[in-house]
Amino acid sequence: MGATNRLACYSDPADHYSHRVRLVLAEKGVSVQLIDVDPAHLPRKLAEVNPYGSVPTLVDRDLALYESTVVMEYLEERYPHPPLMPVYPVARGNSRLLMHRIQRDWCALADTVLDPRSSEAARTEARKALRESLTGVSPLFSEFACFMSDEQSLVDCCLLPILWRLPVLGIELPRQAKPLLDYMERQFAREPFQASLSSVEREMRKL
């Protein structure tokens, strides 16, 4: 993934939104120049291509894209194999809705826990809500090999970076969440997922 190419990705090695883009790149086997970014010291080049100075930012020749779902869908169209979205419009719509729900229901809670500006009370409440929500949907993971699908998809790429960070979030899933725990074990062992991890992320689970 580190090979120099016309394609470059500015990425925060600790950020789950950057991680989801790195995971898509790894799933598709795309050669990309990964540029690690410290949010406190943004490189001048990033500010030149992205007025918000945000990560992840993908640069493909003269095109610069930011906002993780925009980048993910661009990569899906730019590199269609292996596909990470269903072929049929109804199924694609359902996948986009699942991505939206992951963002609204789980990523927002994780962001609250991870944000140093959040109060301790807000963090505690968000941590509890995320744990209960993930435990509640755990039975769904016994029905399919992936999340709500038998095929790997962008939906998994949105969810897995959050699940990888559960120890950092201070969340331990109970035994009744076994279908979800089994899903995590399968997914984390896959070669593309391992290739997507930064050294900072490996430390999160001390690999």
- 99 by Cβ neighbours in 10 Å (0-12 / 13-18 / 19+) ranks as buried
Question: Is the domain of 111 the same as that of 171?
Answer: yes
pLDDT at 205: 92
Percent of the chain with pLDDT over 70: 97
In a domain, 196, yes or no: no
> What is the model's pLDDT at position 165?
98
CATH number at residue 180: 1.20.1050.10
146 by DSSP, 3-state: which?
strand
User: Is 207 part of a structural domain of the chain?
Assistant: no
Asked whether residue 54 is domain-assigned, the answer is: yes
Helix (H, G, I), strand (E, B) or coil at 53: coil
Listing from the earlier edge strand, what are the strands of the sheet with 33-36?
A: 33-36, 7-11, 57-60, 63-66
Is 62 found in the same domain as 26? yes
Query: How confident is the model at residue 3, as a pLDDT?
Result: 40
Domain, as residue range, for 27: 7-78
* Pairwise CA distance, residues 22 & 109, whole Å: 22
> Which pLDDT band holds residue 74 (cuts at 50, 70, 90)?
very high
Mean pLDDT of the 86-97 span: 95
Instruction: Let me know whether 96 and 168 are in one domain.
Output: yes
| 31 and 121 fall within a common domain | no
**pLDDT per residue as tens digits for the range 153-205:** 999 999 999 999 999 999 999 999 999 999 999 999 999 999 999 999 999 99
| Same domain (yes/no): 102, 174 | yes
Segment 58-83 mean pLDDT: 96
CATH code of the domain in which 14 resides:
3.40.30.10
The mean per-residue pLDDT over the stretch 10-28 comes to 98
**Contact present, 123 and 64 (Cβ < 8 Å):** no
The answer to whether residue 83 is domain-embedded is no
Same domain, 104 and 135: yes
| Res 39: pLDDT | 87
Residue 41 pLDDT more than 60? yes
User: Which are the contacts of 124, defined by CB distance < 8 A and separation ≥ 6?
Assistant: none
Assess contact for 141 and 47: CB atoms under 8 A. no
pLDDT of residue 206: 80
Residue 126 in this model has a pLDDT that exceeds 70: yes
Say what percent of the chain tops pLDDT 90.
Answer: 93
The mean per-residue pLDDT over the stretch 103-119 comes to 97
Same domain? 122 vs 53: no
List pLDDT tens digits, range 128-151.
999 999 999 999 999 999 999 999
User: Does the residue 84 lie in any domain?
Assistant: no
pLDDT value for 207: 53
Which residue bears the tokens 């930011």? Answer: 66
Q: Identify whether residues 98 and 66 lie together within a single domain.
A: no
Number of domains present in the structure of the chain: 2
In a domain, 33, yes or no: yes
- Split at pLDDT 50, 70, 90, the class of 2 is very low
Does residue 156 belong to any structural domain of this protein? yes
- Cα–Cα distances (Å) from 51 to 20, 43, 45, 84, in that order, read 21, 12, 11, 29
- Indicate the residue among 78, 102, 122 that finishes a domain: 78
Which residues, other chains included, contact 145 with Cβ-Cβ below 8 Å and sequence gap of 6+? 151, 186
204 in a domain, yes or no?
A: no
Average pLDDT over every residue of 107-122: 97
pLDDT classification of 40: cutoffs 50, 70, 90: confident
> Beta 57-60 vs 7-11: how paired, if at all?
antiparallel
Q: At what angle do helices 120-137 and 178-189 cross, to 10 degrees?
A: 90
